[in-house]
Structure 1
Amino acid sequence: MKDISEQKIQQVKSRFTFLGSITYRSQFGGYALLVDGIMFALVSDGELYLRANDQIENIFQTRKMSNLVYAKRGMPILLRYYFVDSTLWEDQNLLFYFVQLAYESSKAEMLNKKSQPVRLKDLPNLSITIEKLLWKVGIKSAEELKIKGAKCTYLKLKSLNKSLGFNVLLALAGAISGYHCAVLPSVLRNELLEWYEEIKNPEKG
């Protein structure tokens, strides 16, 4: 599936040059497509899905575009990414319009978020309980959390509550990276697990 996904990414990059330089990264078991850091689409199993939000989702739904389904712990979750079928792929005018919609709505959403202060509890994976613990150790903003990093922050929280486990470390790393902890890159997850085991059992180091 990796080869057909990479092939589709190359097709997208060559076809949607009007957006600018398109980059990609791993996400939801597929590849997120971005322009200037703005995520507008996703390629999964060789298929293209356009990102939607409240402003444009009804347009995709009216055309009866299907959602991307992501399996989390065996449970299917409908994501707000809509399938570009072969008919839409061949309809260049409509496709370009939809792609532009996906990009512009994502851009507007990002600008709106940047203009508003982000509370810690609003970051991926973090609850108000974790937010309160972070406040107690002097971390009161998303920027402060990013500067401290997941490992340093985890140690600070652990000093307050020794029962905190590996899932909290994953949650912090995901919050900093902007990922749900279930879809953290495997390289990062493995690195964190190795570090966690070292601090949990220092005599084995």
Structure 2
Amino acid sequence: MKPKFILLHKTNSLIFFNNGSVNKITFMCMINKGMIMKKISKLRFLQFQECLSPLGKISSRPLFGGYSLAIENTVFAMVAEGEIYLRVCEQSASYRVEHHSPMLMMRKNGRPVALKYYRIDEALWQDSKMLFHLSQLSLHSARSEKQHQRDSGRLKNLPNISFHMELMLIHAGITDVKMLRTLGAEKSWLKLREHNKGISINVLESLAGAIAGIHSAALPAQRRQELREWANTQGYSVEDYSG
């Protein structure tokens, strides 16, 4: 059985619960405050990871002098100066206002700037259900924003879409990812062919792959065959193109 613990921040004490036994370890005073903060940060992270384990594995990367915390490549929290901060979202506003949650600050051009992350306070550390709930809200909000950026972002950011392909799509009236997804590969391909009859079946497969988020070569054989059969119904002969 894994040991569980509660960190008593104000007294610099740790309570470990292990198979029913209780052991108390009191931190010795350290001149190097950074060492204390590093230990606290690590222990907090372990507690945080255990609480959020149903959401997936938490990964960390250095960022802004601290660390970003992510689940499945979506950043939803930060670690800075021994504290963990959750990403701000609309759904957590009432909690933040009620508890006067401090924001994560960083210096930019010598001036303090508040980032969109609020500190997990002591009350929240002691309430695992609320901690899980607010963390889940931050994660879901971050995922939604990430998806929105993908949908409304530059076409060139998609697989198979080169700068030249992006220009052709824009010229055909398809200006962003959201429009491409809405139209679909087939209608987008037809729009391209309205301006250039030389557009090949390879471009159709590239568009389908871009929408699916994969390289065109990774398209399933069935999907590839469907596209070719559909192209034939539009008067396009695969045999006419050898490239």
- TM class, shorter-chain normalised? 0.5 to 0.7
Alignment counterpart, residue 107 of structure 2, candidates 56, 66, 71: 71
3-state SS of 1:65 partner:
coil
2:38 maps to 1:3: yes
| Partner Cα distance (1:6, 1:118) in 2 | 38
| Partner Cα distance (2:139, 2:149) in 1 | 15
Q: What are the Cα deviations for residues 102-154 of structure 1, in whole angstroms up to 9, with x where unaligned?
A: 0111111111111112399xxxxxxxxxxxxxxxx98x89xxxxxxxxxxxxx
| Partner Cα distance (2:51, 2:151) in 1 | 32
Within 5 A, what are the aligned runs for 1:33-48? 33-48=69-84
2:61 maps to 1:25: yes
CA contact (8 A) 1:42 1:81 kept: yes
Equivalent position of 2:190 in the other structure: none
3-state SS of 2:78 partner:
strand
| Partner Cα distance (2:92, 2:69) in 1 | 18
Alignment counterpart, residue 104 of structure 1, candidates 140, 148, 154: 140
- The higher relative CO (CA closer than 8 Å, separation ≥ 6) is in 1
Alignment counterpart, residue 151 of structure 2, candidates 115, 118, 129: 115
Q: If the length of structure 1 is used for normalisation, what is the TM-score?
A: 0.54
CA contact (8 A) 1:60 1:82 kept: no
Q: If the length of structure 2 is used for normalisation, what is the TM-score?
A: 0.46
Within 5 A, what are the aligned runs for 1:1-205? 1=34, 3-4=38-39, 5-53=41-89, 55-56=90-91, 58-63=93-98, 64-118=100-154
| Partner Cα distance (1:67, 1:37) in 2 | 23
Equivalent position of 1:157 in the other structure: none
Which structure is higher in strand share?
2
Q: Which runs of 5+ in 1 are unaligned?
A: 121-136, 142-205
Note the aligned Cα RMSD (angstroms).
2.6
Aligned length: 124
Q: Which runs of 4+ in 1 moved over 4 A?
A: none
| Partner Cα distance (1:75, 1:65) in 2 | 21
